């Protein structure tokens, strides 16, 4: 009986020592202070449009995206549909998540949680969007189920040799679509072989300014496309965190390739001038 008690005590003590060792292994001071709420840095004066991929330019044509002729034509198709009142190719109109790289435009506030094995990026937009950036030294798995946000592997590095990490280098692969660069509907390639590389770090002169130097390699592009996305830390100690539930209040109805709108009186209405009603072949038509 006494031996069993001693063994139990020794086992519990060993477990406690192991947990203390694990906790001690994570030195918060080794990592940059990314706590708080982050919103996207406002674009320079004169830049209009919502959520452009390159934050220094207006969305749409002003982005000067290096698209292939095929995907330039798809982009023009999206813009033409939006000019008539449609949603274009923006997946958010169908309550789909923006995915990468569009999610890093920060349509809603962002929170970053850093742990030794994983860095989480949390953004509540369309659905509870989140990224897990694995920093545990793993290699790429032999198979990964594709997702809108992709699969991210990262590494914290100390660029100035002061013993503290200051840059998170990330590579993200294994996507599914549809995905676009921004709400203009500028599309990424249907093959979903996108590779996104990032360098995430605090500004040397301003600890409340966060950079995300992002390079997108995609078959829809003639060359890699690099931008510097910037985020500003909110000053409030207890900021408000909004909730986005896309299905709540969603008035867009999609039938085939057409989009319609549910009016306030509950009836279906067109979103474009001269738009034909949906095909009612499976509904019994009233006699004329």
pLDDT digit string (tens) for 172-197? 999 999 999 999 999 999 999 999 99
Supply φ then ψ for residue 14, to 5 degrees: -65, -40
d(CA 182, CA 102): 6
| H-only helix segments in the chain | 2-25, 69-83
What DSSP designation does 276 have?
Answer: P
Beta strand 225-233 with 209-217 is: antiparallel
The whole-number average pLDDT for the span 86-106 is 89
Q: What is the DSSP letter of 124?
A: E
Output the average pLDDT for the chain.
Answer: 87
**pLDDT at residue 234 in the model:** 95
Per-residue confidence (pLDDT) for residue 24, from 0 to 100: 46
For residue range 15-56, list pLDDT tens digits in order.
Answer: 544 544 444 456 778 999 999 999 998 755 444 457 899 999
Tell me the average pLDDT across 104-126: 91
How far apart CA 170 and CA 135 sit, in angstroms, is 9
On the CB side of 67, CA atoms within 13 Å amount to 21
Fill in the DSSP letter of residue 180.
B
Q: What are the sequence ranges of the domains in the chain?
A: 38-233, 251-288
User: What is residue 51's DSSP assignment?
Assistant: S
Percentage of residues in the chain with pLDDT exceeding 70?
88
| 2 — pLDDT class (breaks 50, 70, 90) | very low
Could you report the per-residue pLDDT of 47-82, keeping only the tens digit for each? 445 789 999 999 899 999 999 999 999 999 999 999
Alpha helices in 142-236 (DSSP H): none
Q: Which two tokens stand for residue 62?
A: 């002003």
Q: Of 71-75, 95-99, 119-123, 196-200, which gets the smallest average pLDDT?
A: 95-99
The CA radius of gyration of the chain, in Å to the nearest whole number, is: 24
Q: Is residue 132 pLDDT above 70, yes or no?
A: yes
Sorted by sequence, the CB contacts under 8 Å of residue 65 that are 6+ apart come out as 53, 75, 181, 186, 221, 225
| In the predicted structure, residue 127 carries a pLDDT above the cut 80 | no
Predicted model pTM: 0.84
Q: Give the confidence band of 146 by pLDDT, cuts at 50, 70, 90.
A: very high
């Amino acid at each position: 009986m006494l031996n069993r008690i001693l063994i139990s005590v020794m086992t519990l003590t060993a477990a406690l020592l192991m947990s203390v060792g694990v906790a001690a292994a994570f030195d918060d001071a080794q990592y940059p202070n990314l706590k708080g709420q982050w919103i996207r840095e406002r674009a320079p004066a004169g830049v209009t449009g919502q959520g452009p991929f390159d934050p220094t330019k207006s969305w749409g044509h002003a982005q000067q995206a290096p698209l292939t002729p095929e995907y330039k034509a798809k982009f023009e198709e999206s813009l033409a549909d939006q000019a008539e009142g449609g949603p274009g190719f923006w997946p958010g109109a169908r309550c789909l998540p923006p995915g990468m790289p569009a999610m890093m435009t920060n349509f809603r506030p962002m929170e970053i949680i850093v742990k030794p094995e994983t860095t989480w990026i949390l953004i509540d937009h369309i659905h509870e969007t989140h990224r897990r950036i694995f920093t545990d030294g793993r290699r790429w798995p032999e198979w990964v189920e594709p997702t809108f946000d992709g699969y991210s592997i990262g590494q914290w590095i100390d660029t100035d040799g002061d013993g503290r990490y200051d840059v998170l280098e990330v590579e993200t692969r294994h996507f599914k679509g549809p995905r676009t660069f921004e709400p203009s509907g500028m599309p990424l390639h249907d093959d979903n072989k996108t590779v996104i590389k990032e360098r995430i770090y605090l500004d040397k002169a301003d600890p409340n300014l966060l950079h995300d130097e992002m390079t997108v390699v995609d078959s829809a592009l003639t060359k890699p496309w690099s931008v510097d996305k910037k985020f500003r830390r909110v000053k409030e100690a207890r900021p408000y965190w909004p909730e986005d539930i896309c299905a709540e209040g969603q008035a867009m109805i999609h039938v085939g390739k057409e989009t319609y709108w549910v009016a306030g009186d509950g009836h279906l209405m067109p979103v474009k001038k001269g738009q034909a009603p949906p095909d009612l072949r499976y509904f019994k038509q009233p006699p004329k």
